[in-house]
Amino acid sequence: MKFVSSLWNNFRNKSKLRRPVKRMYKAAKENDGWLPVNDIDVNFVIAASSPKVRARVRQLVRDFPYFKRALKKIADFRIGKGITYNPLVFNSDGLNVPLNNELKNHFDSWCERCDNTGRMHFYELQKLMVFQELEAGEYFLVKQYDKNRKPYPFFLSPIEADQLSNYKSRPINDNTVNYGIEQNKYGQIVAYHFHDGFSPKSMRVSSDYVINGLEVMRPGQLRGISPFVSSVLAANSLGEYIGAELDAAKKAAKILAIVESHDIPGHQQARRYVGEKENVNNARIEDIENAIVEYLRPNEKMNFVDSKRPTNSFSPFVKFMLQMLSIGTECPYELLSGDYEGLSFSSLRGIRMDYQLSIDCEVGRLINQALDPIQKWVFDCLYLSGHTKINYAGSNHTWRTNKQWPIQRLQDSKAAAQEMKMTAMSPQMFCADRNNDWYQVIEEISIAKKIAESKGLSLDELYGVISTADAGNDAYLTG
């Protein structure tokens, strides 16, 4: 029996092998004409596609207004007026305010001329990083030092992603260069190779001197791709459609009527047209102020053109396409199109909250990949150049990010006041949510109080402070 059972098991296993594999997911169905690229090596796919994707995105930003608006709005909402550095160094008595002010002054002074040209502010450089990531999928900043540059001899040089290349690269220590990035045998990035297209060899820069930011979506991914990539074809098609519709509308607007004639040569001769030459003598056309009267020959009639371009379906279709672009660019439709028609308060509030969550995630990545490393490097250089006696690189600090203004400021302020009473929020956090520096606010309030007292006024009278009961009274607030 044992021998028979063994034969039966072998026969059953062989039958399973010969049986066609049954797909358990419909998405894996074969013979449907869909043959996706086998992209096991994500870096190969990105390297093969990114040059053309970058060129197309840049072209759309130049020529297609909605793409440019998406780029600008995303950068405006992420960076705003700038993500500011706030040191939080403590001593035995608590927050060391004089030292924090000194560190902030040093950093803010460096921010004034932080790039290689000496023209860009650090906040402008932050926006450039966002622009580059949206267009090219990544950004590169090289840390540089020039002893003749005053007052701070260290600065950052932005470099286009197109310059990262394997061309004439020279790795060291048996390292490998993949798509312009040099890695050691453990896969660690040790250098970047930049080539400007003219030099006899590429420039090797140690990874310690390069700030590289990108969104990593696959394990082992080295290079970035524009987040607009899924919208490129749709945006180009929409631009061509809008252009074609405008051309058709212009042509339709220029043609008032069409003359039907059974004798085309006679019709042209009667109007003194021979070939391409025109003889206006005795032409049978009269001008009556803004109108023109033309006499027709027998058997001729004039049909007035009823221009219906663009059609009624034009606006809904463009709106649908813009909604697709808003999803692909991750920019809310209302910001992308400038169309706020029909929005309710609750809808607008929900849109802003969802978008703020997306912004916070992207800004957090920008801080981790670029701003924190830059802060450490700046204070390293401040210490080495003698501007500070102690190296405060990596000291406790925060970055004050851009926040959206509340829709109902009074209602949100009352809610924040309740949170502060419950010690769930600090005044510094509340000011940061309003894009203000708490210390600056306190200083300005102190100055305002002194000026008010010198004029015989109290601070409450100056501010026109109202009671909590009146704050909840709409009739009182509206006068």
Instruction: Kindly write down the DSSP assignment for every residue of 192-241, as one continuous string.
Output: EEE--SSSSSPEEEEGGGEEEEE---STT--S---TTGGGHHHHHHHHHH
Q: Helix (H, G, I), strand (E, B), or coil: what is residue 399?
A: strand
- What is the model's pLDDT at position 271? 60
What φ, ψ does residue 360 adopt, rounded to 5°?
Answer: -60, -40
Q: Which of 320, 344, 374 is the last residue of a domain?
A: 320
Residue 462 lies in a domain: no
Sequence-ordered list of residues with C-beta below 8 angstroms from that of 251, at least 6 positions apart, any chain: none
Lowest mean pLDDT among 147-151, 177-181, 465-469: 465-469
Residue 11 lies in a domain: no
DSSP 27: G
Could you tell me if residue 456 is left (phi over 0), alpha (psi between -120 and 50 degrees) or otherwise beta? left
Identity of the highest mean pLDDT range in 82-86, 201-205, 413-417: 82-86
Whether 179 and 79 share a structural domain: yes
pLDDT in tens, 123-154: 999 999 999 999 999 999 999 999 888 889 99
% residues pLDDT > 90 (the chain): 35
Residue 46 lies in a domain: yes
- What is the model's pLDDT at position 457? 78
**Cα–Cα distance, 433 to 77 (Å, whole number):** 13
Q: How far is CA 246 from CA 241, 252, 308, 314, in A?
A: 9, 10, 12, 11
Residue 414 lies in a domain: no
Whether 102 and 251 share a structural domain: no
pLDDT category at 341 given cuts 50, 70, 90 is confident
Whether 111 and 212 share a structural domain: yes
Per-chain mean pLDDT for the chain? 82
pLDDT in tens, 241-262: 998 888 888 877 776 666 666 6
Q: What single letter denotes the amino acid at residue 468?
A: T
pLDDT category at 275 given cuts 50, 70, 90 is very low
Question: Which structure tokens are listed for 457?
Answer: 């006024």
Say how many domains are in the chain: 2
Residue from 116, 141, 107 nearest 126 by CA? 141
Give the pLDDT mean for 437-464.
79
Domain span holding position 305: 247-320
pTM higher than the cut 0.75: yes
pLDDT category at 274 given cuts 50, 70, 90 is very low
Residue 115 lies in a domain: yes
Whether 236 and 371 share a structural domain: yes
Q: Which of 376, 404, 432 is the last residue of a domain?
A: 404
**Cα–Cα distance, 452 to 446 (Å, whole number):** 10
Give the pLDDT mean for 292-299.
63
Residue from 304, 309, 305, 259 nearest 284 by CA? 259
Whether 194 and 76 share a structural domain: yes
Give the pLDDT mean for 45-51.
90
Whether 345 and 357 share a structural domain: yes
Lowest mean pLDDT among 242-251, 269-278, 422-431: 269-278
DSSP 368: I
Residue 134 lies in a domain: yes
Residue 454 lies in a domain: no
Question: Which structure tokens are listed for 267?
Answer: 């019709």
Residue 164 lies in a domain: yes
Lowest mean pLDDT among 59-63, 178-182, 463-467: 463-467
Q: Which of 263, 297, 320 is the last residue of a domain?
A: 320
Whether 152 and 264 share a structural domain: no
Whether 236 and 112 share a structural domain: yes
Whether 58 and 115 share a structural domain: yes
Whether 353 and 301 share a structural domain: no
Question: Does residue 73 register a pLDDT over 90?
Answer: yes
Whether 379 and 334 share a structural domain: yes
Whether 312 and 214 share a structural domain: no
Sequence-ordered list of residues with C-beta below 8 angstroms from that of 401, at least 6 positions apart, any chain: 80, 83, 360, 363, 432
Could you tell me if residue 139 is left (phi over 0), alpha (psi between -120 and 50 degrees) or otherwise beta? beta
**Cα–Cα distance, 141 to 192 (Å, whole number):** 11
